[in-house]
Structure 1
Amino acid sequence: MSQDKIVGIDILLEFLEVAFNHILFFRKIYPEEIFVKRKIYGITVYVSEHPELNEYLSNVLNSVKELIKEDENSVKTINLTFYNGNKLAIEKFVFDIVKLQAEFTEKDPYYLKTEEALKTICLKLSMCNTYLKPLPDGSTFSVEIQTNETAHIILSENPKCEDFPWIIEDDAVEMTNKNLLPLKDIKTDCLNLQMYVIEDTANKT
């Protein structure tokens, strides 16, 4: 794997960690007190200090890293999905990894364009309460990885992921009243990513 792709993975994983924390803070399913302010991409973001939540997110990111290292095309989308008290999906932040490295784009040797795009996404995430309905009390969340059939085998046989079993979800219930809200497309020579939110307003009440 080339050095550029290794850097691309590191940038992606750092962004996912920031975005997950930022979304969880602004969607208010945890007390604000478990988050602290940090500075990244030149802006203030919110980062969890809760050990169990941090361990879960760390295991998710480690699994994403191991999958991409094994096959860079194995991860299609990463979804941060919220559920209501009836376990119905009501909101989904989708990180669509079109390609780890975009082609036919203006070069970004110092990752300035990439950082500016990630900054824009974080700023839009910090305003998500203005364009999404509030989550109902008792909401929960999970992170889902849409991948290929061999990925589960790869993870189950990888000693770095053996303590964090993933569940195959073949019969996931899809949202029925979907609104799609595009957030940002990133297309630089180290990252090609689309991000959007899908919301089911009917089941939020």
Structure 2
Amino acid sequence: MSQDKIVGVDILLEFLEVAFNHILFFRKIYPKEIFVKKKIYGITVYVSEHPELNEYLSNVLNAIRELIKEDENSIRAINLTFYNKNKLPIEKFVFDMVKLQAEFMERDPYYLKTEEALKTVCLKLSICDTYLRAIPDNSTFSIEIQTYETAHVTLNENPNCEDFPWIIKDDAVEMINKNLLPLKNIKTDCLNLQLYVIEDIVNKI
């Protein structure tokens, strides 16, 4: 993997960590006291200090890194999905991995355009309660990596990921009453992502 792509992976993982924390803070399924303020991309974001939550996020991010190192096209999308008390999916933040790096884009050697795009996403996430219905009490969440069967085998055989139990969701329940809200398309020299939210407006009660 080239140095540019290594930097691209680092920027992607940093952004995902920030986005996951930011979403969990503003969707209010954890007490706000477990989060602290942090400055990144020139704005204030919220980051968890809860050990178990941080370990879960760290394991997910490590798996994403290992999959991309093996094959940069192995991940189709990364979803942060909320479930109601009946275990039905009610809201899904989708990070659609179009390509690790966009092609034929104007060079962004200092990653200023990338940072500005990521800043815009974080600002949109911070007002998500204005365009999404509230998450019901007793909701849970999981982060799902949409990949290919060969990538799953590779992950299971990777010693860097052996302590984390991965589950194949062949029978995943899909949302029926879908409402799709685009967030941002990021297409810079460093990243090529599509971000959107899907919510189930009927089961979110």
Pairwise TM-score range, normalised by the shorter structure? over 0.9
| Amino acid aligned to 2:38 | R
1:197 to partner: Cα distance:
0.2
How far did residue 135 of structure 1 move?
0.6
Q: Which residue of 2 aligns with 1:137?
A: 137
Residue 6 (str. 1) matches residue 6 (str. 2): yes
Q: CA deviation at 1:105?
A: 1.2
Do structure 1's residue 202 and structure 2's residue 202 form an aligned pair?
Answer: yes
Q: Which runs of 5+ in 2 are unaligned?
A: none
Cα separation, 2, equivalents of 1:167 and 1:65? 18
Q: Does 1:18 align with 2:18?
A: yes
Q: After TM superposition, which residue ranges in structure 1, 4 or more long, deviate above 2 angstroms?
A: none
Match of residue 60 from structure 2? 60
**TM-score after normalising by structure 2:** 0.99
Q: Aligned AA for 1:125?
A: L
- What is the percent sequence identity of the aligned residues? 83
Match of residue 98 from structure 2: 98
Structure 2 residue 184 is matched with structure 1 residue 184:
yes
Q: What count of residue pairs does the alignment treat as equivalent?
A: 205
CA–CA separation in structure 1 for the residues paired with 2:43 and 2:92: 24
How far does the alpha carbon of each residue in 1:144-168 deviate from its partner, in whole angstroms, 9 at most, with x for none?
0000111111111100000002100
Who is 2:112 aligned against?
112
**Cα distance in 2, alignment partners of residues 175 and 163 from structure 1:** 31
Partner of 1:124: 124
Q: Deviations over 1:114-136 (max 9, x none)?
A: 00000000000000000000011
- Report the secondary structure of 2:149's partner residue: coil
Q: Secondary structure at the match of 2:167?
A: coil
Distance 1:150 1:165 in 2: 17
- TM-score after normalising by structure 1: 0.99
**Which structure 1 residue ranges, 5 or more long, are not aligned?**
none
